[in-house]
Structure 1
């Protein structure tokens, strides 16, 4: 696997978009900084791609809708977990 500047920037942009979509899916307000949304999005994008490849739906003609759905679902789960952990920590202070 070769890392390029363009590849890294693309991963960050995709991660930010996936993270933002994950935040839109989760109801309520999430007090998460932008950098944490980015991290959740990048991890979710990677996990969604791994899952899509594992079940054989990652390589399709055109846009890979199943891969995208998996990525957004992982992002929503990640946002919900991180936002929930932040709320619990805030309530215990």
Structure 2
């Protein structure tokens, strides 16, 4: 069941990251989910390094770090995706 939560969290974080990043991102939904999952992993890694990965109640700092990780990875991943695939939507 952990893989299902990873996909759900990846989808949510990826979509929020796409909404935060200015402009239109060209990555497909499946890649948004993958980047969201990677952002979650990056945020968990940072939270562990900072010692805030397991606190009482809701881990707001960990969740914020996961979102920051997703924004970074979606932003960089979109640039890579566009450069590899070419910007087909540009006029």
Aligned-partner Cα distance in 2 for 1:8–1:33: 20
Match of 1:69 in 2: 64
Q: CA RMSD in A?
A: 1.3
Which residue of the other structure, out of 22, 30, 33, is the alignment partner of 1:38?
33
* 1:44-86 C-alpha deviation (Å, 9 max, x unpaired): 1011111101111111121111111111111111111122223
Q: Tell me the number of residue pairs that the alignment of Structure 1 and Structure 2 aligns.
A: 86
Q: Report 1:3-22 matches (<5 A).
A: 6-22=1-17
Unaligned runs of 5+ in 1: 1-5
Match of 1:25 in 2: 20
Aligned-partner Cα distance in 1 for 2:63–2:13: 9
Unaligned runs of 5+ in 2: none
* 1:6-55 C-alpha deviation (Å, 9 max, x unpaired): 11101110111111111111110001111100110111101111110111
TM-score under structure 1 length normalisation: 0.84
